[in-house]
Each structure stands twice: as structure tokens, then as C-alpha cells.
Chains A and B, each alone.
Chain A
């Protein structure tokens, strides 16, 4: 079965795969995680806000993006971002945006919807009394959120946020549809050039499997630790 397997092609291309492809994937994952959690937390605060229009806007945004496929969202932003750029910079022609910036914006906007739902559950897991206690002490909304509610919500939700980040790490592979050189994109370029689809895609699968398994095992260990402390 693996008799005709050509390991040589991996040896020849691993530098390109990891230093070009995987570097892009990891960078995009990390930046999108940070951006997504920040924007997602803001969305969660909007959804829980007593200002009805804010709650409504955030709800529509999150529910819409959560009901369409990520591939479609990637296409949307790929074509939309140049127009948004033109609007921001007051230019008459669509702005040319790089592959990284465009996909970063896509993933921040998209994953924020999933982080939002996690943070919403996290915020709701904090007893209301703590917010009232904050107000009674004279803190305003932002202070009681920033010093009382959010630190605890983050802590409670940390394992779920990290699990969602592993999902994000896997989702980043979908930038392949824009012919961007992420890890899968790099592998597919080598695969097509050398006619070695079986070897390259098996290798990619093994790398993802090992990476995600290690990450999810450490999240599980972290979860156990947090559970004991609580």
C-alpha cells in the first residue's frame, strides 16, 4: 500500500511547507484569535446590553454569520474588503489589499461570532449580584465589566475559548479557496508541481492531526486544573 510512497518529496519541500505555509497559518491563527476574542467580547457585551438597538444589531450580525458557510464568508470579504478600504480612505477606486490583511479581517469578523457566544455564556455565568455590588461600590459599567465580570468570565471560559481556537486553526486551511499559501496551500502547490498528491496530503493530515491532538490534550489538562482550583 505504501510501497510506492515517495518520502523524498517531503524532505525536499518541508522548509517551504513550514517556513512559508505553516508560518502563515500560525500567524493568521494567533492574530485572528486575539482580534476575534476582543471583538467577540464586545459583541457579547452588546448582546447582553440593556440598550435594545445595540443588542438587536449584535444579535442579527452574529446569527447571520453563524448561519452561512465560512467558505462563503471568505468569498464575501475577499471582494468586499477592497470596497471597505476605498470607503475608509475615501478613494474612488477599490483598494488593493494583501492576502494576509484580507484573510485576517475575514477571520476576525467571522470567529468573533463564535467567541461572542462563548463569552456571552461566560458573562452570564457570573452572578448578577456581583454587578450590583460593583455599582453599589460606585463603579461604572466599564469598570465593573473590566474589573469584576470579564476577568472571571475569561477564566471560566478559557478551555472553551482555546478549543474554539483549535477549530480556528483548522478553519484557516480554508483560505486555500483564494489560492493563498497557507500550510495546505503550500502543500497543494508542491503536490501539483511534483505530481505527489498522495504523499503531500497524507503528510498534511498527519501534521494537523498531531498538532491538534497535542493542543486539545493540553486544553483538557488545563480544564482539569482549573476545575480543581474552583
Chain B
């Protein structure tokens, strides 16, 4: 086996002219984090709304929430990326479609990637929110009604504050997932961390150094998120409720 190791490659100039290979990788990490954080904000907003819909007593709202979740759960993320990037601009009114297609380079693929990752993850967040609300004793909802609260008030003051605290641990693993899933955006030309490791491999032929660096960076990000989540979990834990809120155990 004759693989030529060269760890100093990271301090050599990368052909994109921006700096060393190491610098390129860290810029990629920046894009990964920006993509993950923006998509996460979208996923939380949509996911909470849909999750609440799925627990309302109104049948048709519950149905609509169910359809939303199944739609985003049953299509591979890669295919959803293609739908947002290639198909969506063709299906919206022509003026808007042309405007989307003419967005300058990083944004033309970054914006669809955020929308895709955000909606994809929102379906998973919705499932966690639903599981969290359903894990509360029925009496809490009834108590809200008995106190004369309207349905929205019951959610706002009774159910959601409790549910949020219960589902912090599973939401933490969804956040780890969104960071990993952001790598799929490289298929629509977002040059995030994995794409940059791949580009480094193509320019420098140092395959294993490039991928090792990307792996280590992902592991470190993972570690930081896990530590932050552990702190947050301890802060918000409801005594007696730990570890009951999560939905299905499979997934990525």
C-alpha cells in the first residue's frame, strides 16, 4: 500500500485563491453552521405550529398536520433538495421563478438549501412537539379549560411551556441531525464543509488528509453541541419527567 501521506498539505495554498486549504475548510464550516442554524430556526417555527396542529381537538387540523409530516418524512432529503432547487422555480409564477434563478451564486443554492433542510427537519420537530404535548397528563388540558382559558391560551400558558422543557433532549439530537444533513446540500452546489473536503481531495489528491480533517471538525462541532445541550437539559429539566417525551427511536 503506497499512500503518500502529507499532513503539511493544510498549510499550502488552495487553488481557489482564498488562502490555505485549512482556511478553505473553516470557511466551509462557516457555511455548514450558517445553513444549519437558519434551517433550524425555520424548522422550530414550522415544527411547533404543525406539532400543535396535530394535538388539537379539531379533526381536520389534525389531518392537515399529519399530511404535512408524512409528506416531508417519506421523500428522501436528496430528492427534496432537487425539488426545491430544480422544480420549485418552475412551478411558481414566472416572474418569481426567474428572480429565484437569477440570484447570485452562493445564494441561488443556499436559499433553497435552507428552505429544504428547514421544512424537512420541521416534520421531525413536529413529531417531537406532538409527543411532548401528548406525554402530559390529560388533566392539564382539562384544568386549563376548567379555569376558563381558551384553547390557544391553554396551549400558550399550560401545555407548551411544559412540553418544550420535556422535549429538549430529543430536539438536541435533531439539531445534531440538521448539522449532518446539511452535507446533502452539496448536491445542489452549496460549498459547505464536506464539499470543501471533497474539492481539496480533487485539487491536492490528499484524499485521507482532507476527509480526516472534515471528520475531526464534525466531531468537534458535535462535541460542543452535546456539551451545550447537556447544560441546557440540566437547566430546563422538569423533575420526574426526564426521558419520556421522545418519539420513535430510529432515524438519523
**Which residues of A pack against B, CB within 8 Å?**
1, 64, 67-72, 75-76, 79-80, 83, 86-87, 92-94, 114, 117-118, 121, 160-161, 163-164, 167, 170-171, 173-174, 176-177, 184, 188, 197-198, 201-202, 204-205, 208-209, 212-213, 216
Given A83-B3, A160-B248, A198-B91, residue A184 in contact with residue B79 (CB < 8 A): yes
B164 shortest CB reach to chain A, Å: 25
- B70 cross-chain contacts in A, Cβ below 8 A: 213, 216
Given A67-B218, A205-B75, A208-B76, residue A72 in contact with residue B197 (CB < 8 A): yes
CA distance A212 to B73 in the complex (A): 9
Is B222 engaged at the interface, CB distance under 8 Å to the other chain? yes
Contact A68 B186 (CB under 8 A): no
* List of 8 A-B pairs having minimum Cβ-Cβ separation, nearest first: A69-B183, A212-B74, A170-B76, A67-B222, A164-B250, A69-B180, A173-B76, A71-B183
Contact A174 B78 (CB under 8 A): yes
Is B155 engaged at the interface, CB distance under 8 Å to the other chain? no
Given A72-B214, A170-B77, residue A86 in contact with residue B250 (CB < 8 A): no
- A188 cross-chain contacts in B, Cβ below 8 A: 82
B51 shortest CB reach to chain A, Å: 18
Interface CB pairs A-B, < 8 A, 10:
A72-B215, A118-B250, A164-B250, A171-B76, A171-B252, A174-B76, A197-B90, A201-B83, A201-B87, A205-B83
Is B208 engaged at the interface, CB distance under 8 Å to the other chain? yes
Residue in A closest to B223 when the chains form the complex, CB atoms: A67
CA distance A27 to B181 in the complex (A): 24
Contact B250 A209 (CB under 8 A): no
CA distance A80 to B3 in the complex (A): 11
**Which residues of B pack against A, CB within 8 Å?**
1-3, 70-71, 73-80, 82-83, 86-87, 90-91, 176, 180-184, 186-187, 194, 197-198, 201, 207-208, 211, 214-215, 218-219, 222, 248-252
A96 shortest CB reach to chain B, Å: 15
Contact A202 B207 (CB under 8 A): no
B249 shortest CB reach to chain A, Å: 6
* Chain B at the A interface: SS class: helix
Given A71-B186, A87-B1, residue A208 in contact with residue B250 (CB < 8 A): no
Contact among A72, A163, A173 with B79 in the assembled complex (CB-CB below 8 Å): A173
CA distance A38 to B83 in the complex (A): 35
CA distance A171 to B252 in the complex (A): 10
- A87 cross-chain contacts in B, Cβ below 8 A: 1
Contact B87 A197 (CB under 8 A): yes
CA distance A167 to B181 in the complex (A): 13
Contact A79 B184 (CB under 8 A): no
CA distance A144 to B209 in the complex (A): 44
A196 shortest CB reach to chain B, Å: 10
Known: A71-B186, A75-B194. 4 other contacts (CB 8 A): A117-B249, A177-B187, A209-B75, A213-B74
Contact B250 A72 (CB under 8 A): no
CA distance A160 to B248 in the complex (A): 8
Contact among A71, A79, A161, A201 with B208 in the assembled complex (CB-CB below 8 Å): A79
A226 shortest CB reach to chain B, Å: 15
Contact A75 B211 (CB under 8 A): yes
Residue in A closest to B180 when the chains form the complex, CB atoms: A69
Contact A184 B76 (CB under 8 A): yes
Contact A202 B87 (CB under 8 A): yes
CA distance A173 to B86 in the complex (A): 17
B109 shortest CB reach to chain A, Å: 14
- A171 cross-chain contacts in B, Cβ below 8 A: 76, 252
Contact B86 A197 (CB under 8 A): yes
- B186 cross-chain contacts in A, Cβ below 8 A: 71, 177
Contact B207 A79 (CB under 8 A): yes
CA distance A176 to B207 in the complex (A): 19
Residue in B closest to A79 when the chains form the complex, CB atoms: B207
Contact A167 B180 (CB under 8 A): no
CA distance A205 to B249 in the complex (A): 25
Contact among B78, B91, B250 with A173 in the assembled complex (CB-CB below 8 Å): B78
Given A176-B78, A213-B74, residue A1 in contact with residue B91 (CB < 8 A): yes
Contact among B79, B182, B194, B252 with A205 in the assembled complex (CB-CB below 8 Å): B79
- A176 cross-chain contacts in B, Cβ below 8 A: 78, 187
- B201 cross-chain contacts in A, Cβ below 8 A: 75, 79
CA distance A70 to B74 in the complex (A): 18
A158 shortest CB reach to chain B, Å: 12
Given A208-B79, A209-B74, residue A167 in contact with residue B211 (CB < 8 A): no
